[in-house]
Amino acid sequence: MSVSIRRLSAACGAEVMGIDVRQSPEETTVAQIRHALGEHGVLLFRDCDIDPEQHIAFSRHFGPLEAHVIGDFALPGHPEVFVVSNVIEGDRPKGAVYAGQYWHSDLSYMKRPSLGSLLLCREMPEVGGDTMFANMYAAYETLSDPLKKFVSSMKAVHDYSHAYDTYFSGLKERPPLTPEQKAKTPPVEHPMVRTHPVTERRALYVNPGFTTHIADMPDEESRPILNILFRHSTRPEFVYRHKWRVHDLIFWDNRCTMHYALADYDFSVRRHMHRTTIGGDEPY
C-alpha cells in the first residue's frame, strides 16, 4: 500500500496512511514524510501499538534524538524517551506532570531547538486531554505589513526557567530547576520570524511558554507586543485540536507550530504518553 496524506483541518495537521511504523521505511517514504511535516506542521499516524525500541527506531529516521534536560522524566533504560504522565507510583510521578499545559514550542529555549517531537499515546481518558496545535506560518502571514516588518527585524529571548517561574510556580510535582539544569539552559536569542529549511516559508517564532521578552527592548514596550502576537497566533482559525486515541502517534514540527496540552480531564484517570525529540538547527 502506498503512503497517502489526508488533511485533518483547515488550520494544520494531516493523517499519514499506508505506513507501518514498526518497519524501517524506504528513503523515498522518509522524504515524503519530511515534506508533509513541513507543509502540514502536524502528522498523525493511527494504530501505532509499538514498544519503546520501535518508537526510537522510527524517530531516528528523521534525525538524531535528544534527551531532555530533566533526566528524572526519562523512561528507565531509554533516555531518548521522555515520559509525559499524570500517573503516580510509590508517591513518585512516572513522568512529567502538567507538561505542556500552556502554548509553547519544544526546546525553543535551546541554541539549537528541536526539529520536531513524536508523541505516542499509551493511556488516555475517554473525555478530555486533547492537544491543540497552532499554525505559525498562518500567524506570520496574516500580520499587518508594518508588524511583519518589525518582527522580521527583531530577536526575542527564550528561557526555560520562565515556565517554572509562571506555569509551574507552586506545583510540588514540578519543583524549581536546579542550578545544574539552569546552567544547561541559559537564556538564548532567536529571530522572531524563522525560515523553514524544507518549505522556505516564514513562521512566527515566539511562544508564551518560553519567550520572555523582545531583545533590546524594555519590558513595558516588549510585553504588549508579545501579548498581541500570542493572542494573534492562537486565533481559532489557526488551531487544530486533536482528540487522542490510544496508540495515536503524532509527529509535530516545532519550527512552524506551537502546541498546548489541555488539562480538562479528571486527573484521577491515567493519561500516559511517550515522546521522542528530534534534534534541530539554529533558527534563521
Q: Which residues on adjacent β-strands are paired with residue 85?
A: 272
CA distances (Å), origin 8, targets 17, 42, 49, 142, 265: 12, 9, 21, 21, 23
Which DSSP letter does residue 61 get?
G
CA dist 89 and 215 (Å) reads 43
Nearest 5°: the CA angle 138, 141, 146 is 140
CA dist 54 and 64 (Å) reads 15
CA dist 47 and 248 (Å) reads 6
Q: What is residue 209's three-state secondary structure? A: coil
- Dig out the grid coordinates for 208 from the structure: 508564551
First to last CA, the chain: 38
Half-sphere exposure of 223 (CA within 13 A, CB side): 3
Other CB atoms within 10 Å distance of the CB of residue 133 = 26
Query: Residue 181 contacts by C-beta under 8 Å, 6 or more apart in sequence?
Result: 69, 70
Q: Active-site residue numbers?
A: 104, 106, 259, 275
31 neighbors 17 (Cβ within 8 angstroms): no
192 neighbors 155 (Cβ within 8 angstroms): yes
CA dist 200 and 284 (Å) reads 11
